Amino acid sequence: MPGYYFGIDEYFLMFIIPATIFSLAMQIMVKSAYKKQSRVGNARGITGAMAAQMVLDASGVQNVRIEMTHGRLSDHYDPRTKVIRLSEGVYGAASVAAVGIAAHEAGHAAQHARKYMPIKVRNAILPVCNIGSMLAVPLMVLGFMLDFFGLVTLGLALYALIVVFQLVTLPVEFNASRRALRAIEGQNMLQGGELAGAKKVLTAAAMTYVAALVVSLANLLRFMLRFSRRR
């Protein structure tokens, strides 16, 4: 029954609470780093949009547009339309944080252009992961309610694939940051301590993906242990 499945137990206390605390700490860290470095202007006056274009040019990537989008920390690269969308606080801002974030998103565009293998793997399993994110837990709950452990197993398999997706996401994100920092340093976009500030923002952002993986692993382990105990 759902109460059994979602209720607080020793596994929740052992795995979910520590993972959640870690995730919250990483979210606070990235927001703090962004807030601090968004207040630091870069000496060359390079905006986020300019930085993204410089990384694209340095990577030999063409036919990728750069647009402004609404929201805070809503920056992303859309490979379907080949558009880098930068938030209002990044697109036209000449801050250290803006340069780092924009260069990172341009790094994703370079990955797609260069057919970077981890991003190909991530994109290949994405459709199934989207289905799994909607069906995994309901299937497990239904399986427990009906004592039909085949459904529980299917739900576990779908949830495990979500964990795999998040695991593959880590090299994608870290590689995009490395590409960004190489381009920033190579083209002297940031000077003196500015580069260190950009690294702090990108490192904090990358740790949020690590935290997401930790939470998913904690949930998967809890699901598996509960399934094993129920059987």
- Interatomic CA distance for residues 197 and 87, integer angstroms: 19
Spatial contact of 166 and 132, defined as CB atoms under 8 Å apart: no
Of the residues 10, 88, 105, 173, only one is catalytic, namely 105
DSSP secondary structure, 80-102, as one string: TTTEEEEEHHHHS--BHHHHHHH
pLDDT of residue 4: 40
pLDDT of residue 3: 44
**pTM as predicted:** 0.89
CA 102-106-108 angle, 5° bins = 120
Half-sphere exposure of 71 (CA within 13 A, CB side): 8
In the predicted model, residues of the chain with pLDDT beneath 70 are 1-7, 230-231
Domain that holds residue 70: 2-230
Q: What sign has the CA pseudo-torsion 163, 101, 104, 123? A: positive
Is 105 part of the annotated catalytic residue set? yes
The total domain count for the chain is: 1
pLDDT of residue 231: 63
pLDDT of residue 1: 39
